Amino acid sequence: GVLVWGFTGIILDGLFEQLGWAVPWDRTRLHEVVF
């Protein structure tokens, strides 16, 4: 998978929703973010 955020994420989210490619979010899956 790929993590995309910010403006690019908003654009891709809208595009995927319109195309019917969106996949429901798995709320049980957690990712650790390390800086």
pLDDT at position 14: 94
Query: What digits encode the pLDDT tens for the residues 1-34?
Result: 777 889 998 999 999 999 999 988 888 999 888 9
How is residue 7 written in tokens?
A: 């403006």
Q: Please tell me the distance from the alpha carbon of residue 7 to that of residue 14, in angstroms, as a whole number.
A: 11
With CA atoms as reference, report the closest residue to 17 among 25, 5, 29: 25
How is residue 6 written in tokens?
A: 């910010």
pLDDT at position 35: 85
Quick check: 4 and 12 in contact, CB under 8 A?
yes
pLDDT at position 33: 87
- The model carries a pTM of 0.56
pLDDT at position 7: 92
